[in-house]
């Protein structure tokens, strides 16, 4: 799938939202996702319309080809869900560390979405070791098929090796007044030539 197709999908499937832009080979945008009008169950949980927008980008993705890491409150949601806690019923309970890689074979998924703890202090709230964004990126690239996409929701984007991994998009995620703006980084695993 090409990046312009992802943008066309979201703009077609969610015409009520401002357009996401594809320009000069990049995906850009600002998604105002708002807040749920209920108390958050977890710090940093997905904004109200965030996950709907992700699925709109990949309307024909099969659930078994979509890996959702750090799924939190979406534990029993769409795709193969993985979280370090059983609180929200993920498909797989797993804590990602450098010594415990993801329990999947290489090149298994078409899309990997991750919303990890944003800092060591944030991770302590969930009694988890802090998974560095670089480690998450490395494992996502391992389990992605060539041409697959890794989407990371974080307060920054990780360092990566240009050429081995392609950064194809950056979308600001805004939820409201006095809230930290998050960043959706969209990476692509290069296809085999």
Q: What is the mean pLDDT of the chain?
A: 89
Please report whether residue 8 resides in a domain.
no
Please report whether residue 6 resides in a domain.
no
Please report whether residue 20 resides in a domain.
no
Please report whether residue 135 resides in a domain.
yes
Per-residue model confidence as pLDDT tens digits over 58-81: 999 999 999 999 988 787 789 999
Query: Could you tell me the CATH number of the domain that includes residue 69?
Result: 3.40.50.150
Contact 142, 96 (CB under 8 A): no
C-alpha–C-alpha distance, residues 90 and 160, integer Å: 28
Contact 137, 156 (CB under 8 A): no
Please report whether residue 3 resides in a domain.
no
Per-residue model confidence as pLDDT tens digits over 76-130: 789 999 998 888 899 999 999 899 999 999 999 999 999 998 888 877 777 678 8
The count of structural domains within the chain is 1
C-alpha–C-alpha distance, residues 80 and 68, integer Å: 6
Contact 148, 192 (CB under 8 A): no
Q: What is the 3-state secondary structure (H, E, C) of 104-117?
A: CCCCCEEEEEECCC
Please report whether residue 105 resides in a domain.
yes
Among 14-18, 70-74, 120-124, 186-190, which stretch is predicted with the lowest mean pLDDT? 120-124
Please report whether residue 162 resides in a domain.
yes
Host domain of residue 173: 30-188
Please report whether residue 24 resides in a domain.
no
């Amino acid at each position: 799938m090409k990046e312009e197709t992802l943008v066309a999908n979201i703009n077609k499937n969610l015409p009520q939202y401002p357009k996401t832009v594809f320009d000069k080979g990049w995906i850009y945008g600002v998604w105002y996702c708002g807040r749920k009008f209920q108390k958050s169950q977890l710090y940093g949980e997905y904004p109200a319309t965030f996950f709907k927008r992700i699925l709109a980008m990949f309307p024909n993705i099969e659930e078994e080809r979509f890996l959702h890491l750090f799924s939190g409150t979406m534990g029993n949601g769409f795709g193969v869900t993985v979280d370090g806690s059983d609180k929200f019923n993920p498909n797989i309970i797993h804590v990602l560390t450098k010594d415990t890689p993801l329990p999947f074979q290489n090149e298994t998924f078409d899309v990997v979405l991750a919303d990890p703890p944003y800092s060591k202090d944030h991770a302590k709230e969930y009694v988890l070791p802090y998974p560095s964004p670089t480690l998450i990126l490395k494992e996502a690239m391992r389990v992605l098929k060539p041409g697959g996409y890794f989407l990371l929701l974080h307060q920054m984007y990780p360092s990566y090796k240009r050429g081995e991994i392609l950064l194809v998009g950056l979308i600001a995620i805004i939820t409201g007044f006095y809230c930290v703006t998050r960043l959706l980084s969209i990476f692509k695993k290069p296809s085999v030539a």
